[in-house]
Each structure stands twice: as C-alpha cells, then as structure tokens.
Structure 1
Amino acid sequence: MKYSKLGRTGLDVSRVCLGTMTWGTQNDQKDADEQMAYALDQGINFIDTAEMYSVPPTPESYGKTETIIGDWNRRNPNRREEYVLASKIAGGGVKHIRNGGEIDGEAIISSVDASLARLQTDYIDLYQLHWPNRTSPHFAKHWPGKITFSDVDRDAHSAKMLEILQAIEECVKAGKIRHFGLSDDTTWGINEYIRLSEQHDLPRVASIQNEFSLLHAKDWPYLIENCVHEDVAYLPWSPLAAGSLSGKYLDGARPEGSRWTYSQRQGLFRDTEQANAAVKAYMDVAAKHGMSAVELALAWCDQVDGVTSTIIGATTLSQLQEDVDAFELSLSDEVLKDVAEVFRQYPVPF
C-alpha cells in the first residue's frame, strides 16, 4: 500500500480510503467487520463515514454507519490508533437532521458529540462539512444556469464560515477532533476558509472530498491545482460514478440489491445516454488492455496528479478486493492515450 500526506496535518494516509456509506442498509455489522479487517490487513489506514449515513438517507438510516463503526471500535479498542477516522456533519436541507438547519457553530458542537458517542471513540481525526451552506455546483448542478453566484450574500456566508471555524477550534482544543476538511465545496470555499483561518489564527482546512471520476472530472484542472498549491488534500469520492463505471447498469440493468435499485435523494442523474455510451467505450479500452473496467477507472483516478487518496466503497468483500487490487496497477502511456480519446468524446456525460 502506498501513502500520501494529508495536507499539512502530518498524517500519512493510504492511497485507498475505505468508504462506508452502505453499512447499515446494504451491509450489516458482519459485512462491515469483514471489510474493516480486510482493509486494515491490506494497509488501508483511512476510513470515511458521515452522520447522515447509511444511504439512501432516511430518518431510520441516520447514524447507522457510525454506530456500526462504533461497535467495531468497542470490540477492538486497541486498533483505533491504526487508522485515520474521518466523519462529516450534514449540511442544511435534510429535514430529519436538525430540522433541515444549516451548519453553524452550535450544530458543529452538538454533532461532534453525537458522532463521538455513536463511533465509541474519544476523537475524530478528520471532521468534514458534508456540503456548504450555500448551493454549490455539485450533484449535477455544474451546468451553466443551474445555479447563480451573483445573488449570494458573500459577507453573510463568510461570517457563518468564521463561526464554523471558531466551533471547530473549540472541538480541537477539547481533543474531540484533530483536523477539519470540506466536502462538495468549491475553490472559493477552500480559499475563504484558508483566508479566515490565517486572519483569525484558527484551524486550517486540511482536505476536500468531491465527486471525481472518468465520467465527472470537473475539478480538473482548476480546483485540483488550487489544492496542490495550497496543501489541501484532494480526496475523490465516487471514482466509479456510483458504480456505473463497472458496467453493471448498462442499458438500464438494475442488479438486485445494487445501489441504483434504492430511491436516491438526488435522483439517478448519472443515468444518461451519454454516460451509458462512455461506459461502453471505457469497457472496450479495459478489455483491450486485459483489465476490468473497475480496475481501469480506479487506477486512472489514482494516477491523476494532485489526488491524495481515493474513497472507495463496496457491498461485497470480493468487490472490495478487486477495488483495492486496482491501486497496484500502473497504466501505461498507451492505456492513458486510449482513455484520453474516450474522455475527449464524453468530457461531461452527466
């Protein structure tokens, strides 16, 4: 297993981060125990979760994933130091979480305490904001005209960001969290948090996790360049585009028990004719070079300049094994050339 620095935190994290959002709905405690054991045995020392998980998010599924991880921590107290634990506070708009309220200082304090209780640990290594209070161009809102920026009250959002940082500092001083990061945010969001932290001597943003894959690479090059030069770790999530790059959803297929058979909070916005065609083309490239489509997609993501650690998730141990093995691959110039030809045909397929 290879490792990278997590921003300026001093932490070394594995190039593979184990995502856990299926634990509690598609996976039970036994499945989670098997995945944790396998991941740690493979040298994976980075685990990502969120208070909102498992998915799809419902009042019944809220907190289930953290609870499952907490049960593992309770039974394996001596292994907590072996891994970097990341969790996230949900943003506004989810009615069953703080009545849909936005992230503010009070929400940070109460949510950290609640997550610690569910996780059965004394500290969270990386505490992340699941999405910003303002609407950001993620979840298919990256097309011109989907959202506007000029009507956003910049000063009001900046003031709330300062309040969040102050609450983060309180949690850091109390030893409840060690570092903080962002998720589903933008270059402006990163830089405004950096500006505020420098101006007020508050904790500095360590990382950002955004959706990134062969089907959704909008963060390249501008946001990732910013991450590299500002020492902010870039953590791609959904490198298989919610499983579609495996090919299992081609032409409308819906394997029993798969994620797309569940109701999705944001809808199946990745399910487009262009994405379907792109997946077929990438599968052809993979077959030509003697690898699976999953191996191609994950190995490609890992080799993108600026990527720190890629968040993967699996519902079966065999899927997890295939995913982890992909990070041992090194794509040749010929493979990358073939990938680039497909990418140019389908740069923004959803």
Structure 2
Amino acid sequence: MQYSTLGYSGLKVSRACLGTMTWGKQNNQADANAQIEYALNQGINFIDTAEMYAVPPSADTYGTTETMIGNWLAANPSRRDEFILASKIAGNGLKHIRDAQDITGETVLAAIDDSLARLQTDYIDLYQLHWPNRTSPHFGKHAPGRISFSDVDTAAHSAQMLEILQALDESVKSGKIRHFGLSNDTPWGINEYIRLSEQHNLTRVTAIQNEFNLLQTRDWPFLIESCVHQQVAYLPWSPLATGALTGKYLNGARPQGARWNLIQRNGLFRDTEQSNAAVAAYGDLAQKHDLTPAQLALAWCNQVDGVTSTIIGATNLEQLKENIDAFELTLSESALSDIADVHKQFPVPF
C-alpha cells in the first residue's frame, strides 16, 4: 500500500480509504469487524464514516455505523493509533437529524460529542461537514440551470461559515478533533473557508471529499487544481458510482442484496441510458486489459493527478479484497488512452 499526505494536516494516509456506510444496513457487526481487520492488515490506515450512516439514511439506522466502529475500538483499545479516523456532521434536509436544520456552531459542538460517544474514542482525526448549508451542485444537481447560485446570500453564508469554523477551531484546541474537512462542496466553499481561517487565525480546511469516478469527473480540472495548490487533500467518494461501474446493474439487473434495490433518497439518478452505455464500454476495456471493471475504475481514480486517497466500500470481503488489490495496479498508457477515448464519448452520462 502506498501513502499520501492528507493536505495541510501533514498526516500520512493510505491511498485507499475504508468506507463504512453499509455497516448497520447491508452489513452487521461481524462484517464490520472483519473488514476493519482485513483493511488494517493490508496497510490501510484511513477509515471514513459519518453520523448519518448507515445508508440510505433513516431514523432507524442513524449513528449505527459509528456505533459499530466504536464497538470494535472498545474491544481493541490499544489499536486506536493504527488508523486515521474521519467522520462527518450531516447537513440540512433530514428530518430525523436535528429536524433538518442548517449546520451551526452549536450543532457542530454537540454532534462532535455525540460522535465521540458512539465511536468510543477521545478524538476524531478528520471531522468533515457532510454537505454545505447552501445547495451545492452534487447528488445529481450539476446540470446547468439545475440550481441558482445567484439566489445565495453570500454575506449570510459567509457568516454561517465563520461561526462553524470558530466551533471547529474550539474543538481542535480542546483535542476533540485534530483537523477538519469538507464534503460535497465547491471551489468557492473551499476557498471561502481558507480565507476565513486566514483572516481570523482559525483552523484550516485540510480535505474535501466529493463524488469522482469515470461517470462523474466534474471536479477535474478546476476544483482539483485548487486543492493541489491550496494543500487540500482530494478524497473521491463512490469511485465505482455506487457500484454501477462494476457492471452489475447493466440491462436492468438488480442482484440480491445490492444497493440499488434499496430506496434511494435522491432516486437512481445515475441509472441513465448514457451511463449504461458508458459502463458497458468500460467493461469491454477492462476485459481487453485483463482487469475486472472494478479494478479498472479504481486504478484509474488512483492515478488521477491530485487524488490523495480514494474511499472504497464493500458489502463482503471478496469485494473488499478485489477493491484493495486495485491499488497495487498501474494502468498502461494504452489502457489510459482507451479510457480517455470512452470518456470523450460519455463525458457527462448522468
């Protein structure tokens, strides 16, 4: 396993990060324990979770993933320093989480304490805002005209961000978190937090995680360039496009136990005619280069300049092994050229 620097923090993290959002819905405690043990044994030292998990989010599963990690930590208290632990505070829009309200400084402080209790640890290495208070062009809202940036009150949102940043800074100083990051945000969001931290001498953003995969490359090049020069780690989530890039959903297939059988809060917006055509083309490329479709997609993501660590997830150990093995691969120039040709045909398939 290779390692990269986690942005401004200086921490070294594995190129693959263990995602956990299926734990508590598709996976039980025994599954979670097995995945943690296997990942650590393979050199992964980065685990990502969130208060909202498991997914799809519901009142019944809220906090269960953090609880499972906490159960493992309680059984293995001497192993806390073996990995960098990341979690997130949920944003607005979910009735069962703080009555769907915006993130505030007050809720940040309370949510950190609640996460620490569930995780059964004294500190979180990387604490992230799961999505911003303003509507961002994520979760299928990236088409031109889908949302209006002009309707956002810039000064009001900047003031909210400062309040949140002050609470995060307080949490860093108290030792409850070490660093903070963003998720599902934009270049303006990143740079406004940096501006505020410099202006007010507060903790600085060190990472952002956004969806990034062969079907969704909107962050290249503009956001990723900003991350590189601002020392903000770029952490792709859903590098397999919620499993679509494995090919398991082609032609309307819905394998038993697969995620697309579950109710999705924003619908299956990745399931389009263009996406399916792109997935089929990438599948053919994988076969041509003696790779599985998942390995092709993950190895490609890992080789994109500016990517720090890619968040992978699995519902069983066989999937996890295949995914981790992809990070030992180096795609040939021929494979990269073939991928680029397919991407030109399907640049925005959903």
Please classify the TM superposition score into its range, dividing by the shorter chain length: over 0.9
Instruction: Report the CA distance between 1:151 and its aligned residue.
Output: 1.3
The CA distance in 2 between the partners of 1:48 and 1:241, in whole Å, is: 17
Give the equivalent residue in structure 2 for 1:88: 88
The CA distance in 2 between the partners of 1:232 and 1:150, in whole Å, is: 26
The CA distance in 1 between the partners of 2:299 and 2:341, in whole Å, is: 17
Give the equivalent residue in structure 2 for 1:60: 60
Note the 1:1-350 alignment, pairs <5 A.
Answer: 1-350=1-350
TM-score of the superposed pair, with normalisation by structure 1: 1.00
The CA distance in 1 between the partners of 2:20 and 2:267, in whole Å, is: 20
TM-score of the superposed pair, with normalisation by structure 2: 1.00
Consecutive unaligned residues in structure 2, runs of 5 or more: none
Instruction: Report the CA distance between 1:333 and its aligned residue.
Output: 0.5
Per the alignment, in what secondary structure is the counterpart of residue 206 of structure 1?
strand
Amino acid at match of 2:144: P
The CA distance in 1 between the partners of 2:251 and 2:310, in whole Å, is: 27
In the TM superposition, what whole-angstrom CA distance separates every residue of 1:295-315 from its partner, at most 9, and x where no partner exists? 000000000000000000000
**Residues paired across the two proteins, number:** 350
Instruction: Report the CA distance between 1:273 and its aligned residue.
Output: 0.4
The CA distance in 2 between the partners of 1:168 and 1:19, in whole Å, is: 23
Per the alignment, in what secondary structure is the counterpart of residue 235 of structure 2?
strand
The CA distance in 1 between the partners of 2:35 and 2:317, in whole Å, is: 6
In the TM superposition, what whole-angstrom CA distance separates every residue of 1:13-37 from its partner, at most 9, and x where no partner exists? 0000000000000000000000000
The CA distance in 1 between the partners of 2:189 and 2:11, in whole Å, is: 23
The CA distance in 2 between the partners of 1:168 and 1:286, in whole Å, is: 43
The CA distance in 1 between the partners of 2:106 and 2:6, in whole Å, is: 27
The CA distance in 2 between the partners of 1:61 and 1:267, in whole Å, is: 19
Instruction: Report the CA distance between 1:173 and its aligned residue.
Output: 1.1
The CA distance in 2 between the partners of 1:283 and 1:64, in whole Å, is: 34
Instruction: Report the CA distance between 1:10 and its aligned residue.
Output: 1.5
In the TM superposition, what whole-angstrom CA distance separates every residue of 1:267-325 from its partner, at most 9, and x where no partner exists? 10000000000000000001011111000000000000000000000000000000000
Query: What is the CA RMSD across the aligned residues, in angstroms?
Result: 0.4
Per the alignment, in what secondary structure is the counterpart of residue 308 of structure 1?
coil
The CA distance in 2 between the partners of 1:8 and 1:58, in whole Å, is: 34
Amino acid at match of 2:286: A
Identity %: 70
The CA distance in 1 between the partners of 2:289 and 2:40, in whole Å, is: 30
Consecutive unaligned residues in structure 1, runs of 5 or more: none
In the TM superposition, what whole-angstrom CA distance separates every residue of 1:176-228 from its partner, at most 9, and x where no partner exists? 00000000000000000000000000000000000000000000000000000
The CA distance in 2 between the partners of 1:242 and 1:25, in whole Å, is: 15
